[in-house]
Structure 1
Amino acid sequence: MPTTPDLSTTVWRKSSYSNTQGGSCVEVADGIPGIVPLRDSKNPDGPALIFEAAVWTSFVQAVKSGEFRPD
Protein backbone atom coordinates (compact mmCIF):
# COMPACT_ATOMS: atom_id res chain seq x y z
CA MET A 1 0.00 0.00 0.00
CA PRO A 2 1.46 3.42 -0.97
CA THR A 3 2.19 5.82 1.85
CA THR A 4 1.69 9.58 1.78
CA PRO A 5 5.05 11.37 1.88
CA ASP A 6 5.68 13.96 4.60
CA LEU A 7 5.78 17.28 2.74
CA SER A 8 5.84 19.48 5.86
CA THR A 9 9.42 20.67 5.27
CA THR A 10 9.19 20.75 1.49
CA VAL A 11 10.42 23.81 -0.37
CA TRP A 12 7.89 24.76 -3.04
CA ARG A 13 8.46 26.90 -6.12
CA LYS A 14 5.85 28.59 -8.25
CA SER A 15 5.55 27.56 -11.88
CA SER A 16 7.29 29.89 -14.32
CA TYR A 17 3.97 30.04 -16.18
CA SER A 18 2.10 31.47 -13.18
CA ASN A 19 1.23 35.15 -13.21
CA THR A 20 1.87 37.78 -10.54
CA GLN A 21 -1.79 38.81 -10.21
CA GLY A 22 -2.68 35.86 -7.97
CA GLY A 23 -4.39 33.89 -10.70
CA SER A 24 -4.13 30.19 -11.36
CA CYS A 25 -0.80 29.20 -9.87
CA VAL A 26 0.78 25.81 -9.55
CA GLU A 27 3.66 25.06 -7.22
CA VAL A 28 6.02 22.13 -7.52
CA ALA A 29 8.52 20.62 -5.11
CA ASP A 30 11.85 19.53 -6.55
CA GLY A 31 14.40 17.10 -5.24
CA ILE A 32 12.18 14.41 -3.78
CA PRO A 33 13.38 11.08 -5.17
CA GLY A 34 10.85 9.25 -7.29
CA ILE A 35 7.93 11.69 -6.96
CA VAL A 36 6.82 15.13 -8.12
CA PRO A 37 4.38 16.87 -5.74
CA LEU A 38 2.15 19.68 -7.09
CA ARG A 39 -0.20 22.01 -5.23
CA ASP A 40 -2.37 25.09 -5.72
CA SER A 41 -0.43 28.13 -4.46
CA LYS A 42 -3.67 29.79 -3.35
CA ASN A 43 -4.26 26.88 -0.95
CA PRO A 44 -0.83 25.96 0.45
CA ASP A 45 -2.33 24.00 3.33
CA GLY A 46 -4.57 22.02 1.00
CA PRO A 47 -3.80 18.67 -0.57
CA ALA A 48 -0.95 18.06 -2.97
CA LEU A 49 -1.11 15.88 -6.03
CA ILE A 50 1.71 13.34 -6.02
CA PHE A 51 2.96 11.95 -9.32
CA GLU A 52 5.59 9.30 -9.93
CA ALA A 53 8.57 11.09 -11.47
CA ALA A 54 8.54 8.97 -14.66
CA VAL A 55 4.82 9.61 -15.19
CA TRP A 56 5.28 13.37 -14.70
CA THR A 57 8.23 13.39 -17.15
CA SER A 58 6.10 11.62 -19.77
CA PHE A 59 3.28 14.14 -19.27
CA VAL A 60 5.63 17.15 -19.62
CA GLN A 61 7.19 15.67 -22.77
CA ALA A 62 3.73 15.13 -24.27
CA VAL A 63 2.74 18.73 -23.53
CA LYS A 64 5.96 20.06 -25.04
CA SER A 65 5.51 17.96 -28.18
CA GLY A 66 2.00 19.36 -28.71
CA GLU A 67 0.13 16.16 -27.94
CA PHE A 68 -2.46 18.15 -25.96
CA ARG A 69 -3.83 20.89 -28.18
CA PRO A 70 -6.84 23.05 -27.33
CA ASP A 71 -9.86 22.59 -29.56
Structure 2
Amino acid sequence: MTDTQQELPPEAMGNEKWHDTTDALWMRSSLSNPDAEAIVEVAEFDDGFRAVRDGKSSEKGTLFFTPAEWEAFVLGARDGEFDIPEEYLTEEEIKIQRGQTEVEAAWVPSPLNTPEAMAEYHRRQN
Protein backbone atom coordinates (compact mmCIF):
# COMPACT_ATOMS: atom_id res chain seq x y z
CA MET A 1 0.00 0.00 0.00
CA THR A 2 1.38 3.43 -0.90
CA ASP A 3 1.44 6.46 1.37
CA THR A 4 -1.27 8.06 -0.78
CA GLN A 5 -3.61 5.11 -0.31
CA GLN A 6 -3.05 5.17 3.46
CA GLU A 7 -4.07 8.84 3.59
CA LEU A 8 -7.39 8.25 1.84
CA PRO A 9 -10.54 8.26 3.95
CA PRO A 10 -12.14 4.86 4.68
CA GLU A 11 -14.97 5.43 2.16
CA ALA A 12 -12.38 5.74 -0.64
CA MET A 13 -10.86 2.31 -0.06
CA GLY A 14 -11.90 0.00 -2.88
CA ASN A 15 -14.29 2.60 -4.35
CA GLU A 16 -13.25 3.20 -7.96
CA LYS A 17 -15.75 6.08 -8.27
CA TRP A 18 -14.48 8.02 -5.24
CA HIS A 19 -13.06 11.49 -5.86
CA ASP A 20 -11.63 13.96 -3.36
CA THR A 21 -14.36 16.54 -2.72
CA THR A 22 -12.36 18.77 -0.35
CA ASP A 23 -12.38 21.71 -2.76
CA ALA A 24 -15.06 20.47 -5.16
CA LEU A 25 -17.31 23.13 -6.67
CA TRP A 26 -20.78 22.17 -5.45
CA MET A 27 -23.76 23.58 -7.33
CA ARG A 28 -27.47 23.56 -6.52
CA SER A 29 -30.63 24.64 -8.28
CA SER A 30 -31.68 28.26 -7.97
CA LEU A 31 -35.11 26.82 -7.11
CA SER A 32 -33.74 25.13 -3.96
CA ASN A 33 -35.85 26.06 -0.97
CA PRO A 34 -33.66 26.88 2.05
CA ASP A 35 -36.51 25.67 4.30
CA ALA A 36 -36.61 22.22 2.68
CA GLU A 37 -35.45 19.17 4.61
CA ALA A 38 -32.75 18.48 2.01
CA ILE A 39 -31.08 20.30 -0.87
CA VAL A 40 -29.45 18.33 -3.66
CA GLU A 41 -25.99 19.54 -4.62
CA VAL A 42 -23.87 18.26 -7.51
CA ALA A 43 -20.14 18.52 -8.20
CA GLU A 44 -18.60 17.73 -11.59
CA PHE A 45 -15.03 16.52 -11.98
CA ASP A 46 -12.70 16.95 -14.95
CA ASP A 47 -13.08 13.27 -15.90
CA GLY A 48 -16.88 13.57 -16.17
CA PHE A 49 -17.67 11.87 -12.86
CA ARG A 50 -20.27 13.55 -10.66
CA ALA A 51 -20.77 13.63 -6.91
CA VAL A 52 -24.14 14.22 -5.25
CA ARG A 53 -24.80 15.19 -1.64
CA ASP A 54 -27.40 16.73 0.63
CA GLY A 55 -26.39 20.37 0.94
CA LYS A 56 -28.16 20.67 4.28
CA SER A 57 -26.47 17.60 5.78
CA SER A 58 -23.28 16.97 3.82
CA GLU A 59 -21.98 14.77 6.65
CA LYS A 60 -24.51 12.11 5.56
CA GLY A 61 -22.18 11.13 2.74
CA THR A 62 -21.66 11.52 -0.97
CA LEU A 63 -22.78 9.43 -3.93
CA PHE A 64 -20.47 9.17 -6.95
CA PHE A 65 -21.58 8.53 -10.52
CA THR A 66 -19.67 7.55 -13.65
CA PRO A 67 -20.38 9.65 -16.75
CA ALA A 68 -22.62 6.86 -18.12
CA GLU A 69 -24.55 6.55 -14.86
CA TRP A 70 -25.04 10.31 -14.74
CA GLU A 71 -26.32 10.39 -18.31
CA ALA A 72 -28.81 7.60 -17.53
CA PHE A 73 -29.98 9.50 -14.43
CA VAL A 74 -30.45 12.77 -16.33
CA LEU A 75 -32.39 11.03 -19.11
CA GLY A 76 -34.60 9.33 -16.51
CA ALA A 77 -35.23 12.63 -14.75
CA ARG A 78 -36.19 14.27 -18.05
CA ASP A 79 -38.66 11.44 -18.64
CA GLY A 80 -40.26 12.01 -15.22
CA GLU A 81 -38.92 8.77 -13.74
CA PHE A 82 -38.12 10.47 -10.44
CA ASP A 83 -41.01 12.94 -10.20
CA ILE A 84 -42.36 13.42 -6.71
CA PRO A 85 -46.01 12.34 -6.26
CA GLU A 86 -48.09 15.50 -6.45
CA GLU A 87 -49.80 14.94 -3.09
CA TYR A 88 -46.45 15.86 -1.50
CA LEU A 89 -46.00 19.08 -3.48
CA THR A 90 -47.30 22.63 -3.15
CA GLU A 91 -49.38 24.06 -5.99
CA GLU A 92 -46.35 26.03 -7.20
CA GLU A 93 -44.17 22.90 -7.15
CA ILE A 94 -46.81 20.97 -9.11
CA LYS A 95 -46.77 23.65 -11.82
CA ILE A 96 -42.97 23.57 -11.96
CA GLN A 97 -42.89 19.77 -12.16
CA ARG A 98 -45.50 19.79 -14.94
CA GLY A 99 -43.62 22.50 -16.83
CA GLN A 100 -46.63 24.84 -16.55
CA THR A 101 -44.74 27.86 -15.28
CA GLU A 102 -42.24 30.32 -16.67
CA VAL A 103 -39.85 29.74 -13.76
CA GLU A 104 -36.32 29.15 -14.98
CA ALA A 105 -33.88 27.18 -12.93
CA ALA A 106 -30.16 27.79 -13.00
CA TRP A 107 -27.19 26.21 -11.27
CA VAL A 108 -25.87 28.38 -8.44
CA PRO A 109 -22.90 27.76 -6.14
CA SER A 110 -23.51 26.19 -2.76
CA PRO A 111 -22.96 28.47 0.23
CA LEU A 112 -20.96 25.55 1.71
CA ASN A 113 -18.22 25.76 -0.94
CA THR A 114 -14.69 26.33 0.26
CA PRO A 115 -12.97 29.63 -0.62
CA GLU A 116 -10.81 27.68 -3.10
CA ALA A 117 -13.91 26.28 -4.83
CA MET A 118 -15.48 29.74 -5.01
CA ALA A 119 -12.28 31.16 -6.52
CA GLU A 120 -12.50 28.45 -9.21
CA TYR A 121 -16.17 29.30 -9.80
CA HIS A 122 -15.34 32.99 -10.32
CA ARG A 123 -12.40 32.08 -12.57
CA ARG A 124 -14.75 29.99 -14.76
CA GLN A 125 -17.27 32.83 -14.92
CA ASN A 126 -14.70 35.28 -16.31
TM-score strictly above 0.5: yes
May I ask how many residue pairs the two structures share in their alignment?
A: 71
What is residue 5 of structure 1 aligned with on the other side? 19
Identical pairs, percent:
34
- Structure richer in strand, relative to its length: 1
The reply to whether residue 55 of structure 1 matches residue 60 of structure 2 is no
For structure 1, the 5+ residue unaligned runs are none
CA-based RMSD? 2.4
- Structure richer in helix, relative to its length: 2
What's the TM-score once normalised by structure 2's chain length? 0.46
What's the secondary structure of 2:37's corresponding residue? coil
State the alpha-carbon separation in 1 of the partners of residues 78 and 51 from structure 2: 20
What's the TM-score once normalised by structure 1's chain length? 0.73
Residue 11 of structure 1, CA deviation: 1.3
For structure 2, the 5+ residue unaligned runs are 1-13, 86-126
Instruction: Summarize the Cα distance change of 1:21–1:62 in structure 2 as closer, same or farther, 3 Å threshold.
Output: same
What's the secondary structure of 2:60's corresponding residue? coil
State the alpha-carbon separation in 1 of the partners of residues 42 and 17 from structure 2: 19
Q: Which entry has the higher C-alpha Rg, 1 or 2?
A: 2
State the alpha-carbon separation in 2 of the partners of residues 68 and 9 from structure 1: 29
Higher relative contact order (CA 8 A, sep 6+): 2
